[in-house]
Amino acid sequence: MPTQDNMNLQDGEKVVLGQGGKETATYEDLKASDESHQMHGFGHPLMQKGPRQLVVFESGDGAVLKDVMGKEYLDAMGGITVAHLGHGRKDLAQVAFEQMSKLEVSSNQRNLTNNNAVKLCERLSGLAAQAFPEMDGSRVYLTAGGGEGIEAAYHLALRYFNKSGPLGTSYGEGYKKQKLISFRNCYHGSTFIPASMKPEFSDYGWKRWMEGHGREVYESPSHRMFSNIDPPHELFMDVSKMKPGENVGQAAARQLEERILQEGPETVAAFVFEPVQGDGGAVDMHRDFFPLAKEICKRHSVLMIADEIMSFAKTGHWFGMELYGVCPDIMVISKGLTCGYLPAGAVIYQNYIWQTAFNNLSSKMMLSDVWQHDYTWSGHPVCSAVALRALDIIDSENLIELCAKRGREFLDILKSELEGLHVVQQVRGTGVMLGVDLISDIATDIEQKVLLEYGIVLRASTNKHCLLLTPPYVMTDEQFKKVAESLRKVLRSFATLAESAISKSRQH
């Protein structure tokens, strides 16, 4: 434990942050400063302007957030789809404090690491093996967040194929196998590779980069690096593409195989997907899809990369793919790993990939054999300590089961309040991932109104017609009823507008 000497604080004295010690920034000060200096994710300058539009949080307790004016909000988004355990847990803060006082950082490069990073990898590999026998002996690469985990998983896939040719698998001509297939309506992050997988993003990523070369180049299989299929869900599948007698799961699986064949199996590295689409609006997949997708991917030597970044520990299982009983080759997790208390993530992958990509090397180490990939914050000792503690809490308090139970209860409440409203197309949920699908592209307006007028935090999907709720397990029924009732009032007030703005963003 640190002494008063190295803390430089007396009992009861508060730490003052920012502005060279300017202690009491008012809401107006903060708003003006925010408007002048900060750029917000998925933001627009107009969202930071105007009377009372910006919300500046200062503290949280359980499912309640408080802003700098003292106003309380019900956090149905769990921070940013991360805070399974709720806000303000002192036990996690204590772990961080103690670890920071002992060792705040160390390198995880080459032959360096720290005790917590090692333990976390063992723990995650064990959890994966508990979920799927194929994950026995799985390897773990630690990250700080989600998108960078997807980048690392992709790099791993490239390396696997680069090394696999001479060692027995059918493809191995350098980096020829490098294309990615993903679902429409996905979200895998905002760095280059994940952004390129989302067809609806046009500002940044591969599509933007290639557009200048003309459509015939951009859309030709010989140049196209990223392509998409419909998610196997009744509201997201283009029914005109279905064949008689097929269900949406079978139709999407057929699309996947056709796409692999169209692109050339020798060029497709991986199929990347969320087991339950998060940002897309809690979209779960038809149960027939993944078993078929697994056969298809195996047939064409395409790796399955499950983006479990949001679904980890939220669906009533540790991993969302347990819903379907299908083990992917690589899983990427983040968000719930520390339950929001610090940034952390991990790439967990089957041992056969490790054996091929790294372990079958000659005894002489070549520079080209080194994993040319590193994140400064990989295996951070404090983040790893907090992750280990969060996993202990989830385990010891049986929160995986509780999450399934609370999710069902939340869903019942949401359905009883919202089903039957004209603007509501569907209310759905898997564990604590809950979605409200609207008939119109008005989700962002709903998100804003429910936030500013009712003090409810939830999230509009980037597809504009869904709302996503990921409430912490600790939110009470009474609190959740208030969330659902407020949402009902706001949705009713939008009935006329909704009618005149039937969804354009729904892509079928």
Ligand X SMILES: Cc1ncc(COP(=O)(O)O)c(C=O)c1O
- Point out the residue whose Cβ comes nearest to ligand X: 146
Report CA Rg, the chain: 24
Which of 62, 79, 189, 320 forms a contact with ligand X (CB under 6 A)?
189
188 binds ligand X (CB under 6 A): yes
The residue count for binding ligand X (CB under 6 A) is 13
> Which residues are registered as beta bridge partners of 431?
none
**CB of 359 closer than 8 Å to CB of 371:** no
Q: How far is the CB of 329 from ligand X (least distance, A)?
A: 17
Report 304-343 residues binding ligand X (CB under 6 A).
307, 309-310, 334
* Site map (CB under 6 A) of ligand X, residues 233-272, x = contact: ----------------------------------------
Burial label, 353 (beta-carbon count in 10 A; 0-12, 13-18, 19+): buried
Residue with tokens 């920012």: 18
Of 184-192, 220-228, 249-257, 467-475, the segment contacting ligand X by CB under 6 A is 184-192
Of 202-210, 303-311, 395-403, 408-416, the segment contacting ligand X by CB under 6 A is 303-311
Tokens of 377: 């914050």
**Residues 230-254: b if buried by 16+ CB within 10 A, e if exposed:** bbbbebbbeeeebeeeebbbbbbbb
**468 sits in which H/E element:** strand 466-469
Neighbours of 271 (CB within 10 A): 25
Identity of the residue, 155 or 488, whose beta carbon is nearer to ligand X in the bound complex: 155
State how far the Cα of 282 lies from the Cα of 236, in Å rounded to an integer. Answer: 12
State how far the Cα of 308 lies from the Cα of 188, in Å rounded to an integer. Answer: 10
Q: 3-state DSSP call for residue 172?
A: coil
Identity of the residue, 148 or 288, whose beta carbon is nearer to ligand X in the bound complex: 148
**CB of 472 closer than 8 Å to CB of 496:** no
**CB of 272 closer than 8 Å to CB of 188:** yes
**In degrees, to the nearest 5, what angle opens at C-alpha 310 toward C-alphas 502 and 338?**
145
Of 142-150, 154-162, 363-371, 382-390, the segment contacting ligand X by CB under 6 A is 142-150
Which of 151, 230, 274, 417 forms a contact with ligand X (CB under 6 A)?
274
Q: State the DSSP string of 56-113.
A: -EEEEEBTEEEETTS-EEEETTHHHHT-TT-B--HHHHHHHHHHHHH------STT--
Identity of the residue, 313 or 491, whose beta carbon is nearer to ligand X in the bound complex: 313
Q: How far is the CB of 200 from ligand X (least distance, A)?
A: 14
Q: How far is the CB of 140 from ligand X (least distance, A)?
A: 17
State how far the Cα of 30 lies from the Cα of 67, in Å rounded to an integer. Answer: 12
Identity of the residue, 334 or 384, whose beta carbon is nearer to ligand X in the bound complex: 334
Identity of the residue, 148 or 417, whose beta carbon is nearer to ligand X in the bound complex: 148
Q: How far is the CB of 336 from ligand X (least distance, A)?
A: 11
Identity of the residue, 62 or 281, whose beta carbon is nearer to ligand X in the bound complex: 281
Q: How far is the CB of 394 from ligand X (least distance, A)?
A: 19
182 binds ligand X (CB under 6 A): no
Identity of the residue, 143 or 479, whose beta carbon is nearer to ligand X in the bound complex: 143
Going by the DSSP 8-state scheme, the letter that residue 205 receives in this structure is S
The Cα diameter of the chain in Å comes to 76
Q: How far is the CB of 278 from ligand X (least distance, A)?
A: 4
Of 2-10, 27-35, 140-148, 348-356, the segment contacting ligand X by CB under 6 A is 140-148
> Reading across the β-sheet that carries 424-430, which strands appear in turn?
424-430, 433-438, 466-469, 459-460
Q: How far is the CB of 118 from ligand X (least distance, A)?
A: 23
Q: How far is the CB of 11 from ligand X (least distance, A)?
A: 37
Q: How far is the CB of 334 from ligand X (least distance, A)?
A: 5
Identity of the residue, 421 or 466, whose beta carbon is nearer to ligand X in the bound complex: 466
Phi, psi (rounded to 5 degrees) for 197: -80, -15
Q: How far is the CB of 377 from ligand X (least distance, A)?
A: 12
Identity of the residue, 323 or 491, whose beta carbon is nearer to ligand X in the bound complex: 323
Q: How far is the CB of 147 from ligand X (least distance, A)?
A: 3
Q: How far is the CB of 188 from ligand X (least distance, A)?
A: 5
Q: 3-state DSSP call for residue 425?
A: strand
Identity of the residue, 62 or 78, whose beta carbon is nearer to ligand X in the bound complex: 78
State how far the Cα of 126 lies from the Cα of 335, in Å rounded to an integer. Answer: 19
Which of 278, 281, 379, 435 forms a contact with ligand X (CB under 6 A)?
278
Q: How far is the CB of 93 from ligand X (least distance, A)?
A: 21
State how far the Cα of 435 lies from the Cα of 414, in Å rounded to an integer. Answer: 9
Which of 230, 257, 263, 279 forms a contact with ligand X (CB under 6 A)?
279
Report 60-79 residues binding ligand X (CB under 6 A).
none
Which of 88, 100, 105, 145 forms a contact with ligand X (CB under 6 A)?
145
- Where along the sequence are the contacts to ligand X (CB under 6 A)? 145-147, 187-189, 274, 278-279, 307, 309-310, 334
